[in-house]
Amino acid sequence: MIGNEETHDVERLLPPPIKRIVVDEQLQPTIVQPPVADPVAATGPSAGAVRAGARAHRRGTPGPERMTLDGLSVSYGTKRAVNEVSLPIRQGEVLALIGPSGCGKTTLLRTLNRLTELTPTARREGRILLDGQDVDELEVTALRRRVSMVFQQPNPFPMSIFDNVAYALREQAMKRPGKAAVEPQVIDALRRAGLYDEVKDDLSRPALRLSGGQQQRLCIARALAVRPEVLLMDEPCSALDPRSTAVIEELIQELRSELAIVIVTHNLQQAYRVGDHVAFMYLGDLVEYGRTEQVFAAPRAQRTRDYVGGAFG
């Protein structure tokens, strides 16, 4: 349990928000990324406001490649779910993955952190590189901490809010840093996920008593707590109301400077709002990949045109 005074102490002890450090230290000192260029989005999370300012802070130059998919195919038994997909996933930007239901978006996403290996029938071909290294050469647990995931349904563990995030931080079953040791990181993760102010009064509350939107942000906090390089989000807003959706979209805008984000969405407007690049899949094939404006305004393929055509009619 975290009392109020204690909480304030911890706040004072906290290091400055790490996302800026990450941007400064790593990889892309040349890219000046205003954290939130849109003042409207920063103050009031209404969907309209986010949309109005969303495209304002798109950069010209793409960031460095974090992950590379090279001829990636996935089959379930004899059924091809993903077919020869090659894609770059770049630091500091959001890749929106769109396409009709069943086209293999979830499968593609789950392959990136090797979660498909939990499905006995799934078989993978092609290469996935993380910072130039084949993911098959990495320890799977280490890979999943570097490439973490938020699921379509909020899926907190049946424990307290604190323990949900602390569990992600603690190494494995046997080594157990104490509560005090992980507390600053837990609070930081909750804050980065924009949840801290709503739950700080009682972090020992059961996570499953939170609202759906809060649960999803807790899952994001959990995913962020391991300090991933890539964040995979599978339709993170599909179970949420417009307000919670706006909060999470805003969060994505803030996080994009420190991470590479891949987001699957059925909502084309959301893809337009949050995506720097858009990948359109159809029946397992990658039909089109390009900058968001280009894919929406001037799609090259007829399939893409048909699919995105209705979105901004």
Partner 1 sequence: MAATAPPLPQKRRLDSSLSSWRWGDRIGFVACWAAGIGLCLIAAGIVLYMGFQGLKYLDATLLVTHPNVDTDQSKSGGFLDPIIGTVLLTLIGIAIATPIAVGTAVWLVEYGRPAWLARLVESGIEVVAGTPDIVIAIFGLALFQKGLFSWMSFSAAGGAVFGRSFLTAGAMMSLIALPMVFGATREGLQSIPAHVREASYALGKTRIATIRRVLLPAVKPNVSTGAALGMGRIAGDTAIVVVLLGATLRLQSEGGLPVLGTLRGTGSTLTSYVYNNSPAGEGAAPNRAYAAAFVLLLVVIALNFAVDGIARRGARYGLESTRLDRQ
Annotate 67-115 with three-state secondary structure: EEEEEEEEEECCEEEEEEEEEEEECCCEEEEECCCCCCHHHHHHHHCCH
> CA 31, 37, 43: angle at the middle one, nearest 5?
145
Member of 31, 35, 52, 76 binding ligand ATP (CB under 6 A): 76
Member of 82, 85, 128, 149 binding partner 1 (CB under 8 A): 149
- Non-local CB neighbours of 230 within 8 Å, separated by 6+ positions: 66, 67, 89, 112, 130, 146, 147, 148, 259, 260, 261, 262
Q: How far apart are CA 206 and CA 210, in angstroms?
A: 8
- Match 């993911």 to its residue by tokens: 135
DSSP 8-state class, residue 176: -
Provide φ and ψ at 123, rounded to 5°: -135, 140
Q: Which helix (H) or strand (E) holds 172?
A: none
Member of 33, 91, 106, 270 binding Mg ion (CB under 5 A): 106
Binding flag, residue 268, ligand ATP (CB under 6 A): no
Binding flag, residue 216, Mg ion (CB under 5 A): no
CB of 43 to ligand ATP, least distance (A): 33
Binding flag, residue 185, ligand ATP (CB under 6 A): no
CB of 160 to partner 1, least distance (A): 7
Member of 26, 121, 153, 302 binding ligand ATP (CB under 6 A): 121
Member of 144, 256, 273, 303 binding partner 1 (CB under 8 A): 144
Fill in the per-residue mask, 94 to 113: x = in contact with partner 1 (CB under 8 A), - = not in contact.
-------------------x
CB of 67 to ligand ATP, least distance (A): 18
Q: Which does 103 bind (CB under 5 to 8 A by kind): ligand ATP, Mg ion, partner 1, none?
A: ligand ATP
Binding flag, residue 153, ligand ATP (CB under 6 A): no
Query: Among residues 23 and 237, whose Cβ is nearest to Mg ion?
Result: 237
CB of 211 to partner 1, least distance (A): 11
- Contact between residue 277 and residue 93 where contact means Cβ atoms under 8 Å apart: yes
Inter-axis angle of helices 179-192 and 161-169, nearest 10: 100
Chain center to CA of 172:
23
Q: How far apart are CA 29 and CA 187, in angstroms?
A: 27
CB of 102 to ligand ATP, least distance (A): 4
Binding flag, residue 115, partner 1 (CB under 8 A): yes
Binding flag, residue 2, partner 1 (CB under 8 A): no
DSSP 8-state class, residue 36: T
Binding flag, residue 245, Mg ion (CB under 5 A): no
CB of 290 to partner 1, least distance (A): 29
Binding flag, residue 103, ligand ATP (CB under 6 A): yes
Query: Among residues 52 and 208, whose Cβ is nearest to partner 1?
Result: 208
R_g over Cα of the chain:
19
Member of 19, 66, 105, 303 binding ligand ATP (CB under 6 A): 105
Which residues of this protein are in contact with Mg ion, per CB under 5 A? Answer: 106
